Structure 1
Amino acid sequence: MKDILIVLSRKDQPELVCAVLAHHGITATLAEDVQNAVLSMESHINAFLLLDLDLEGADSLLELVVNSFRDPPPYLLAADAFPDSAARVKALNLGADACLEKPVDAEEVLAVINAALRRAERLAQMEGPFPSAPQIRHGELSIDPLRHTVTMRDEPVSLTVKEFDILHFLASYPGIVFTKSQIYERVWEEDFKFASTSVSDHISSLRQKLGLNAKDGRYIQTVFGVGYRFVVEPSGN
Structure 2
Amino acid sequence: MTGIRVLIADDDKEIRNLVKKYLDLETYEVDTAADGEEALRLYEAHSYHLVLLDLMMPKVDGIEVCRRLREKSNVPILMLTAKDQELDKCLGLGIGADDYVTKPFSIHELVARIKALMRRYMVLGSDKAAQQEAQIIRYKGMTIDPKKYIVTKAGEEISLTAKEFELLHFFASHPEQVFTKTQIFRQVWNSEYLEDDNTVMVHIRKLRMKIEVDPSNPRLIQTVWGIGYRFIGEQDE
Q: TM-score, normalised by structure 1?
A: 0.80
Number of corresponding residues: 230
Q: Does 1:35 align with 2:37?
A: yes
Aligned to 1:67: 71
Aligned to 2:177: 176
In the alignment, structure 1 segments of 5+ residues that lack a partner are: none
Q: How does 1:69-88 map to 2 (within 5 A)?
A: 69=73, 73-81=74-82, 87-88=88-89
Q: Does 1:146 align with 2:147?
A: yes
Pick closer, same or farther for the CA change 1:118–1:18 going to 2, 3 Å. Answer: same
Selected match of 1:21 from 20, 23, 31: 23
Note the C-alpha offset of 1:206.
1.0
Aligned to 1:205: 206
Q: Give the Cα–Cα distance (whole angstroms) in 2 for the partners of residues 36 and 43 of structure 1.
A: 11
Q: Kindly indicate whether the alpha-carbon contact (under 8 Å) linking 2:139 and 2:234 is maintained by their aligned counterparts in 1.
A: no
Q: Give the Cα–Cα distance (whole angstroms) in 2 for the partners of residues 186 and 174 of structure 1.
A: 15
Q: Give the Cα–Cα distance (whole angstroms) in 1 for the partners of residues 173 and 52 of structure 2.
A: 32
Q: String of CA shifts for 1:188-230, please: whole Å, max 9, x gaps.
A: 2222x43477112211111122346666341101112222110
Note the C-alpha offset of 1:156.
3.2
Selected match of 1:130 from 129, 132, 140: 132
Note the C-alpha offset of 1:97.
1.4
Q: TM-score, normalised by structure 2?
A: 0.80
Q: Does 1:157 align with 2:158?
A: yes
Q: Give the Cα–Cα distance (whole angstroms) in 1 for the partners of residues 139 and 66 of structure 2.
A: 31
Give the counterpart letter for 1:27 in structure 2: E
Selected match of 2:5 from 3, 6, 13: 3
Moved more, 111-120 or 165-174: 111-120
In the alignment, structure 2 segments of 5+ residues that lack a partner are: none
Q: Give the Cα–Cα distance (whole angstroms) in 2 for the partners of residues 164 and 79 of structure 1.
A: 22
Q: Identity over aligned residues, as a percent?
A: 31
Q: String of CA shifts for 1:27-59, please: whole Å, max 9, x gaps.
A: 332211122223323432221111112123233
Pick closer, same or farther for the CA change 1:2–1:133 going to 2, 3 Å. Answer: same
Note the C-alpha offset of 1:62.
2.0
